[in-house]
Structure formats: C-alpha cells, structure tokens
Chains A and B, each alone.
Chain A
Amino acid sequence: SYELTQPPSVSVSPGQTASITCSGDKLGDKYACWYQQKPGQSPVLVIYEDSKRPSGIPERFSGSNSGNTAALTISGTQAMDEAEYYCQAWDTSTPVFGGGTKLTVL
C-alpha cells in the first residue's frame, strides 16, 4: 500500500520560515494537499493541488511538490501556526494521509 512519510516534529522561531516535508514514491506525479489541525479541533485544508490556497488561508502558507517530496512552507511563522500538519494524496481511489508533523513555534 502507498505510504506518505512526514517528520514527527519541526521547530521554528516566530517570524522565520518553517518547512514540513512529505515523502512518497513518485509523489510528484500526484497532487498533494495539506491539513492543519490544532488541539481539540477538526483538520482544516490549507493547501490543495500542491500549491493552491483555499479562501481564507493566509498567503504565508505555500506548497510545492516534485519528485518524491511535497513540502508545506510557512513564511513569517506566527504563534497561531503551531499545530499538527498532515499531508494527503490519492493512491488510485484511496486517500492516504501522512503520519503528521507537530510544528512548534518557539
């Protein structure tokens, strides 16, 4: 079965750029999307189709996808961005989620 691998944790200082990676076999041939989940809340879509932002998502969130790796980048990271982030892609008709990355802003 298809797998997506994310680092368990990433730390960033306020105002700096955070990058979270998601690796999978030939992931660049698929679309990747990203979800933000804060404690006790439902996931929120922050990036779809590799690099598109849904309405209401700040411009500091961006995405890329090439080769075997997709990345979520948060520029000028704010304290409110501290959350768990999940990547997701489709393997035939099955959505696959990465294991999640805990982003700490300190």
Chain B
Amino acid sequence: QVQLQESGPGLVKPSETLSLTCSVSVDSISRISYFWGWIRQPPGKGLEWIGSIFYSGSTYYSASLKSRVTISVDTSKNQISLRLSSVTAADTAVYYCARHEGVSSDSSFDLWGRGTLVTVSS
C-alpha cells in the first residue's frame, strides 16, 4: 500500500526558506502516472493548495504563492520536495503531500500523508 511521509524542520526563521520532503513508498515514482501535490493548513483554518508536480517534472503552482514556491521531484529517491522562500508567520501551517491523478476536473486527492507542522518564528 502506497504511503506518503513528509519530513523537514519544524521551525523556520522569518525571511528564510522552508524546505520539506515527501517520501513515497513505491518501487518507482516514474512508473506510476500520478501528480504529487503540496497542501497546507494553518492552525484552525482550511486547506490551501500550494502546487503539484508530475513525475516528469511538469509543475503547477498556486498563483498566490508562485513567486516563492519551487516543487521538484527526485525519481531516484521517490521523493518530492517543496521549497518556500521568504517565509513569514503567515506560512505557519501543517504541510501535507497528497496524490492526485491529474489537473483536471475529474481528479481528486485520494491519498494524503500525515502532514508535518512548520512554525515560522525567530
């Protein structure tokens, strides 16, 4: 059964770059045609999509975060990475990685990681 596991620092200083990794428990990401997305949830608030990547490297980003976000994939390690630059307290959230089949209307996030809390504070 495929599992997703987020990892990374739980505390990031303001103005620095948040870096997280999502490890996918499959033999090879490149053999399955899925997108891998990052979604965040500030404490007590709703879900916000950050961006997604296909195993080939094609990326889609939220318009509101695009200038600060980079998502990449390492198929040799079955890992997806998220980098969010110039963070502020507003970026404090639980960060989830999740799987979806496409970027069209009939796609949904059918598998989620457990999430990792990132706090932005000095």
Contact = CB atoms under 8 A, between A and B. Distances in A.
A binds B: yes
A86 interface: yes
A97 B49 contact: yes
Interface size class of B (residues with CB under 8 A): 20 to 34
Contacts of B37: 95
Given A1-B63, A42-B114, A42-B115, A94 B49 contact: yes
A61 interface: no
Interface size class of A (residues with CB under 8 A): 20 to 34
A38 to B, nearest CB: 13
Looking at chain A's contact residues, the main secondary structure is: strand
| Interface pairs A-B: 9 shortest CB-CB | A33-B108, A93-B103, A42-B112, A48-B108, A97-B47, A31-B105, A100-B46, A30-B105, A90-B105
Interface of B: 37, 46-49, 60, 62-63, 96, 98, 100, 103-110, 112-115
Given A94-B63, A100-B47, 12 more contacts: A1-B63, A33-B108, A42-B114, A43-B47, A43-B96, A43-B112, A45-B110, A90-B107, A94-B62, A95-B49, A95-B100, A97-B46
